[in-house]
């Protein structure tokens, strides 16, 4: 390729302009994201567990003591189990429902456009609103005589056997607190539509001729779905897992508005505990430790994705 001197200066000029445009945001991100992450990390290794020690500002390094205390803490242990089960069921629920709705809408039946929008609407609502409304729906009322919400519906339908305490229940199966079920339902309701939108985009991107070819070869709908569509949708599933996974690991507002920590912390999550430790107990170091642990969780999910997608970009 021929390089004329003019082109080179243009390139240089572009480079300078590019850097000047990007520079402020790089600085801002360096300070407000990475700077504060390292500050939080520093606080999490300190003894700043009261307002006065924070204010005095004398830094005393205590190593992993805050982390040790957290992992011995009954509430934090419950939080970790809750996060695990919430994430698993929430991901399964949203992805299964998302695929189902996307497939139905993709069939292009009459009125599918309306449903496509209807399914997507919940995503536009804030988590706080969702939480408040679902907390009314799943409020059990005083059983068995004065049911409320969904329990009342069951009574009207003659399904009294299905009534239970929902998020006020303190039962658990192994480490899974059943009170999480209504929270998972609410979260799934909110984000299944979004997952549907992602899959729908994926499905519409599959060329018709592949499907046609499969049909000619005698594959039925079921086989086409599992052997052709699903493998082609793998990148979509991966993105959905990442996006939904990091939402569920960090979830705060939905749970806070819907159930709070719950009796015996059955619906507590690390983010709520972090908030209470920091802003109610003034235990800033312990709160920071939870923040760092949550960051690590999210990193475990995000970093492999970033690595693969960056590699993909190079290719």
Partner 1 sequence: MKRFVIIIAVIFLSFSIFAAENALEIFSWWTGGGEEEGLLALFDLFHKYYPDVEIINAAVAGGAGTNAKAVLKTRMLGGNPPDSFQVHAGMELTDTYVIPGLMEPITWILKEIGAYDKFPKDLIDIVSYKGEVYSIPVNVHRANVVFYNKKIAEEIGMTKEPTTWAEFLMYLDKAQQMGYIGIALGDKNKWTSLHLFESIMLAELGPEKYNKLWKGEASFNDPAIKRALTIMKDILKYINADHSALTWQDATRLVFEGKAFCNMMGDWAEGYLKTLGWKPGVEFGWFALPGTQKAFMLVSDTFGLPKNAPHRENAIKWLKFLATVEAQDTFNPIKGSIPARIDADKSKYDVYLQWSMYDFSTKIICPSIIHGSAAPESFATSLMDAINIFVTEQNVDKTFKEILWIAEDNGYLAD
Binding site for partner 1 (CB under 8 A): 49-52, 54-56, 74-75, 135, 138-143, 145-146, 148, 165-168, 170, 259-265, 276-277, 279-283
The tokens of 154 are what? 């069951």
* Contact by Cβ (8 Å): 84, 181: no
* Host H or E run for residue 215: helix 208-216
Residue 132 CA to residue 126 CA, distance in Å, equals 10
CB of 77 to partner 1, least distance (A): 12
CB of 36 to partner 1, least distance (A): 14
Residue 80 CA to residue 23 CA, distance in Å, equals 39
Residue 315 CA to residue 312 CA, distance in Å, equals 5
Tokens 């805050």 belong to residue: 66
Output 89 or 166, the one with its CB closest to partner 1: 166
Output 164 or 189, the one with its CB closest to partner 1: 164
Residue 46 CA to residue 286 CA, distance in Å, equals 9
CB of 38 to partner 1, least distance (A): 19
DSSP 233: T
Output 131 or 193, the one with its CB closest to partner 1: 131
CB of 281 to partner 1, least distance (A): 4
CB of 16 to partner 1, least distance (A): 29
Of 297, 275, 296, 302, which is closest to residue 286 (Cα–Cα)?
Answer: 275
Output 142 or 220, the one with its CB closest to partner 1: 142
Residue 40 CA to residue 44 CA, distance in Å, equals 6
The tokens of 117 are what? 């929008």
Output 193 or 270, the one with its CB closest to partner 1: 270
Strands (E), the chain: 141-142, 146-147, 172-173, 176-177
Output 83 or 168, the one with its CB closest to partner 1: 168
Residue 237 CA to residue 173 CA, distance in Å, equals 29
CB of 273 to partner 1, least distance (A): 9
CB of 148 to partner 1, least distance (A): 8
CB of 143 to partner 1, least distance (A): 6
CB of 263 to partner 1, least distance (A): 4
Q: What is the largest CA-CA distance in the chain?
A: 88
Residue 200 CA to residue 220 CA, distance in Å, equals 21
Output 130 or 135, the one with its CB closest to partner 1: 135
Q: Radius of gyration over alpha carbons of the chain, in Å?
A: 25
Give CA 170 to chain center in angstroms: 24
The tokens of 50 are what? 């009261």
Output 239 or 282, the one with its CB closest to partner 1: 282
Output 165 or 202, the one with its CB closest to partner 1: 165
């Amino acid at each position: 390729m021929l390089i004329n001197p003019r082109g080179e200066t243009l390139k240089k000029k572009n480079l300078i302009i590019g850097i000047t445009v990007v520079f402020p945001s790089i600085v801002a991100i360096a300070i407000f994201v990475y700077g504060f992450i390292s500050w939080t990390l520093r606080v999490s290794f300190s003894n700043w567990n009261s307002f006065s020690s924070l204010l005095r500002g004398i830094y005393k390094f205590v190593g992993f003591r805050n982390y040790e205390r957290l992992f011995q803490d009954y509430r934090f242990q419950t939080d970790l189990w809750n996060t695990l089960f919430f994430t698993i069921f929430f991901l399964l629920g949203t992805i299964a429902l998302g695929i189902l709705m996307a497939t139905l809408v993709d069939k292009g039946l009459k009125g599918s456009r309306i449903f496509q929008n209807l399914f997507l609407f919940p995503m536009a609502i804030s988590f706080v609103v969702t939480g408040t409304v679902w907390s009314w729906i799943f409020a059990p009322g005083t059983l068995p005589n004065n049911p409320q919400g969904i329990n009342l519906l069951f009574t009207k339908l003659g399904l009294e056997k299905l009534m239970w305490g929902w998020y006020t229940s303190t039962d658990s199966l192994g480490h899974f607190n059943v009170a999480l079920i209504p929270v998972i339902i609410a979260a799934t309701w909110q984000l299944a539509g979004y997952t549907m939108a992602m899959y729908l985009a994926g499905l519409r991107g599959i060329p018709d001729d592949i499907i046609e070819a499969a049909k000619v070869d005698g594959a039925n709908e079921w086989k086409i779905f599992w052997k052709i569509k699903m493998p082609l949708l793998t990148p979509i599933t991966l993105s959905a897992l990442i996006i939904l996974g990091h939402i569920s690991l960090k979830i705060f507002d939905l749970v806070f508005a819907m159930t709070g920590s719950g009796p015996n912390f059955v619906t507590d999550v690390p983010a709520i505990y972090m908030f209470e430790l920091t802003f109610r107990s003034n235990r800033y170091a312990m709160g920071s430790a939870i923040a760092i642990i949550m960051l690590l969780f999210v990193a475990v999910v995000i970093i492999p994705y970033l690595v693969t997608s960056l590699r993909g970009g190079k290719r």
